[in-house]
Structure formats: C-alpha cells, structure tokens
Amino acid sequence: MKIASACLFIATVPAALFAQGTVSLPGVTVYSPRVANQVPAGTFATPASALRYEPQVDLQARNLVEGQADVTMRGGIFENTGFQLGALTLIDPQTGHYFAEIPVAPALLLAPALQHGSELALGASNATVGAITYGWRPIRTAGAAAVALGEFGLKRAELYQGFAAKVGAGGSAHIGADVAIAHSESDGAIPFAEHEFDRVNVRLQRADATSQTDLFAGYQAKFFGLPNLYTPFNSNETENLQTVLLAANHRATFGRGEFLEAGVFHRRNKDDYAFNRFAPVGAVHPFQHTTRVTGAAASGRRDFGELAVGVRAEVLRDELHSTSLTFGRYRERTLTKFAFVPEKTWRESGGPATTLKAGVSHDDTNRDGGSFSPVVELARDFPVGEVRRIFFNYAKTSQVPTYTALNSNPAAGLFRGNPNLGRSKSHNIELGVSGAVAGWSFDSAVFWRRDESLVDWTFRRGVTARTANAVDLDVGGFEAVVRRSTKDFDLVIGYTTLTKDADYRGAVVDASFYALNYARHRLTGAITARLGQGFEVRMDNAARIQADNLLRVIGGRRAVTSALSLRYRPLSWRGAEIAVQADNLWNDDFQEIPAVPAMRRQFSASLGYNW
C-alpha cells in the first residue's frame, strides 16, 4: 500500500500539486498561502492547522494536530520553536507541548509567517531555532457558518461574524467587532482517542490606513485521549486543557518599511493530565498544572535613509501551580529580551542594493544568568533577474528550560527532571537564495546550527520514565520551496534534508523522543486545482525518511501522508460550499512521535455558507 501511495504521490506532483495563494472567500480570509487544506477533516481549524503540511515546518501530533501539536523547524524540537501574535511572544512555562495552545480562530488571523536567523533576533523571545508569527486580520462586515459530520461520530459546528463601521472625517477609519464560536466532538479514529473541543472569541478593533488596534478575549477547552499519549508504557491517557487569552495590540506603519508595534497579554492554561484514564472514580489525578503568563512587548523599525535601526523589547512574567512539578528551585520567573540591530544599505542607481545588519540581543531572567547574542547579515537584492536576493547571516539565540524539565522529580516518577539545567544557546549560520525563473518562484537555504545544552527527553532501557538531559547537537540542513500559480492551479513543492550529531555528555541514552526524532529527507507538495463550474480539488502530501529510533515500533521510518478534499461552490448559490475530505488518505500508521500511535484515516463532509 505504501509503495502504491508513494507512486501516486510522485505522479501527482508534476501534474499540479501544491498550495494556493491566500484564498479569499466572500467575507472571510482564513488560509495559509503554502498549503492546500487548512481545514482538517477531524475537527475545527486552529492556528496549528495551517502548519500541517507547511514545507518548512515539521508538525508532530498527539491525537489530532488540533489536539496537541509539537511544532518544529529546521531539526529543532517542540520547545525551541516560538509563537508570536502581533508584537507578543506566547509561551507556556510548564512545557513547550502547549506553545501552540492559542485560543484564536484562524478567521481572526493573517496567514502565518516564519522567522529564523536575523529575523528571530528581532522576534519571539525564548526561542532558538525559529518562530511562527501571526498578525491580526482587519475586520469586515462579513460572516461564515459551517457544519460537518464524519466517521467515528464526528460532529463539528463553527460560526464567525464580523461588523465594521466607518468613522472619522470622510470615513477614513473604521471600528469593528467580531466573534467566533466553534465546537467539535468525536469518538476517535482508534479506541480511547475521543475528543471534545470548544472555543469562543470576541475582538474589538479600530483601524485606519496606517494603524490598527485590537482588543481580544478568547477561551478554549479541550478534552482528548490517546493510548501512549506521552509515555511508551501502553497506558490509555487523557488530557484536559482550558486556555484563556486576553490581549491588546497596536501596530502603526510608516513609509519606507518603518513601523511600530506594541502589545500586552495575559494567558492562563489549566492542564489535567491522566496517565491512567481508568483510575478509580474520585482518585486525585497526580498531574494537574496551572500556568499564568503576563507580558508586554514593543518592536519597531526606523529608517534614516541609507541607515535604519530595528529594536525590540519584551518582558514576560510567569508562574506555575502544580501537584507534581514541585522539586525545583522556583515556580515563578521573569524573562526579558532587548534587541538592537542597525543596518546600512548601499544602493546602486537602478541596480542592486547591498544591506549589512549588525547588532545584538540580550536575554535575561531573575533566576538564571543572561546572555548577549550577536547577529550579522549581509544581503544583496536585485530588482530584476532570476536571482532576486542572496544573503548570509550568523545569529546566536538562547532560551531557558520549562518547569516540567526543571521541577519534575529527578529520581522517581514518569517524568524525571533536573533542577540544574541551564540556559541553552544556539549558533546558526545560513546562506540563502531566492528568486523566480520560468514562472516559478523559489526560496532556498543551506544552514548549520550548533545547539549547546539543549534540553531533550530521553529513554533508557529498563527505566520506566523519560528523563530530561542536556545535549549538544550539530545540525546541518538544506531546504527549498518552489511555487507556481496559474488560473487553473496553484502548486507548492518543498524539500528538506537534515543531519545531526549528538553528544549527551556521558549520559546513558538509548533513544531520544525529540532531539533525534527528525526526518532525514522530507518532501511536501500541495495543489489546488480549479476544475471549473465551481468545483475545486485540494491535495496536501508529505513523504519522509525518518532517522532510526528504537521507540518507533510501528510504522517504520518511511511514510507518505496526504489530505484530500473535493469542494463545490454552486454558481447559483453564492457563498455556499459543499466539501468532502479525508485526512491520512493512505491510512499510514507512521508514528510522528516515537511510541505515540498515529490517528487513522478520517472522512468527513461539510456544508458552509459565507456572507
């Protein structure tokens, strides 16, 4: 079956395979430009949904992607990829497994963008490899509703409504409000893998031609189960998450690439994890955690002709209340970041421009020592020609561990921590080229990264636990993305190859859950094919050869996964859409995280209406 599916995957790519530019339905824009299916078959979409087949992101799921997703970039792990919403870095101080718990409907957000290298120096805090960034979408008077039914008792319903009114002299500005509500439930594609998700959002906005201010409140509740959800010991586990996010963000843009963006937020995440869902009624679950994070950030860029300056300042205050993470030295912490990156541009009349950036960022906490991180980039931009940009950069980044690693019992239990884990540091060198040729656009980069004291979770034979260990990693890689769009189709193809060399500093390690769980080769492809008369086919694909890992007992190292949908928008019923779709089309059993079972194929059908 895998051979047949791989042949179909390869045959499909040249014909017309991958993702579209941003799709604008009447009233609502919710899609990422580099994947075809951002709405999953098994539940409602979250900000992580648009990353499932993103060429430069490898997303590793427990239950559904929308259940719990580890987001990795360039061979990193779940805790060194950050998330930024407007000006703000969103973190969970307990564990990076909950970084993607962002209770915001995609209908409220712009398409995700990726940061790394010199961009990360002026971006998200406490991330060393890269970050996913989201902006707030302008509100229009528009709405959308959708319902879906599917296999395994799936029921899904969503509603979005936005209102906007012009204000000011000549209607030069608008004020608006929008709401989004979603519910999903299912018995699950495998036994004991059911879910029940709910999300509610409210937002107020004022915007004009050069600025936008957003006030947001969101709540999300998720219950889901899965055998071996976090441990490889054949236990039926469950997760119960409740996340609240309050945020305010203001962004003003000026001429010549200048901007100022600032915001504040408060996030609360409650987690009740059950290792054994069948524990006696009334028994206290031993893993209950509540985290709170309050933060403020400001960033901007000022242009002085051939000189420009980029700056960023951020402060994050966190606290943890837990029934089990009680063995470390502290349970509250303040993190700060300040970055200052000047740049100079030499422009040739009507010709190329050369830009040199050289600056520094400083990360600190009240619990650990701080770290200065230099960043240097030399880039050459060409106004015409097949090659449009060439750049070389070096960037150092750093981060501190989360409380699960610091405060878990170091000598007993399922998760064994280390209170002496310190600041991780990464050194990244990158050479990139982008441009366009024969109707195709392309972005490519070769990179090398040295991760020092990266916190990994490891397995040792005979020990019924996973253990937090520091590891030094050398990571080398190449990634490329090519795109083409015509009136009939949109196509995106991505390829990444990685190598790693690990030093666990004398610790006995038989397997790694995260640092050594990576694809040596990964090929992605997405196509949106417009068939006419309102019909459209979308298909996402990912083929991989994974590094060896003795914890991966099912599915092997090779996998091909696909998502396929057929959508019909009746020409006589503007705004309506009927869709049938499937996730994991080939029913591949590949374990994205070693020992964690894959969700099986899921079919669903939906009816939506946009106004």
- Position 407 scores a pLDDT of 97
- Position 169 scores a pLDDT of 79
pLDDT in tens, 564-589: 999 999 999 999 999 999 999 999 99
pLDDT in tens, 226-274: 999 998 888 999 999 999 999 999 999 998 889 999 999 999 999 999 9
- Position 12 scores a pLDDT of 35
Closest CA to 47 of 119, 122, 130, 135: 135
What distance in Å separates the CA atoms of residue 392 and residue 406, rounded to the nearest whole number?
36
Domain covering 2-610 in this structure, CATH number: 2.40.170.20
Mean pLDDT of 287-302: 97
**Partners of 142 in the beta sheet?**
162
pLDDT in tens, 160-197: 999 999 998 778 899 999 999 999 999 999 999 999 99
First to last CA, the chain: 42
pLDDT in tens, 416-473: 999 999 999 999 999 999 999 999 999 999 999 999 999 999 998 888 888 999 999 9
What distance in Å separates the CA atoms of residue 16 and residue 487, rounded to the nearest whole number?
12
If pLDDT is split at 50, 70 and 90, which confidence band does 603 have?
A: very high
- Position 528 scores a pLDDT of 94
pLDDT of residue 31 exceeding 80, the answer is no
- C-alpha dihedral, 4 to 9 to 12 to 18, nearest 10°: 160
For residue 546, the tally of other CB atoms under 10 A from its CB is 21
pLDDT in tens, 481-537: 999 999 999 999 999 999 999 999 988 899 999 999 999 999 999 999 999 999 999
HEC string for 150-164: EHHHEEEEEEEEEEE
Share of the chain above pLDDT 90, in %: 84
Share of the chain above pLDDT 70, in %: 94
What distance in Å separates the CA atoms of residue 255 and residue 151, rounded to the nearest whole number?
52
Phi/psi at 95 (nearest 5 deg)?
-160, 145
If pLDDT is split at 50, 70 and 90, which confidence band does 2 have?
A: very low
Residue 178 amino acid letter: D
Closest CA to 72 of 577, 611, 434, 592: 592
- Position 32 scores a pLDDT of 80
pLDDT in tens, 337-394: 999 999 999 998 888 999 999 999 999 999 989 999 999 999 999 998 999 999 999 9
CB-based contacts of 602, cutoff 8 Å, min separation 6:
41, 42, 150, 151, 152, 154, 189, 582, 583, 584
Quick one: how many helices (H) and strands (E) in the chain? 3, 32
pLDDT in tens, 58-96: 999 999 999 999 999 999 999 999 999 999 999 999 999
Mean pLDDT of 318-346: 96
Would you call 4 helix, strand, or coil by DSSP? helix
**Angle value at C-alpha 397, between 395 and 401, nearest 5 degrees:** 165
If pLDDT is split at 50, 70 and 90, which confidence band does 281 have?
A: low
- Helix, strand, coil percentages, rounded to 5, for the chain: 5, 55, 35
32-36 CB contacts, 8 Å cutoff, 24+ apart? 32/111, 32/112, 33/111, 34/481, 34/483, 34/492, 34/494, 34/526, 35/492, 35/526, 35/540, 36/490, 36/526, 36/527, 36/528, 36/538, 36/539, 36/540, 36/563, 36/565
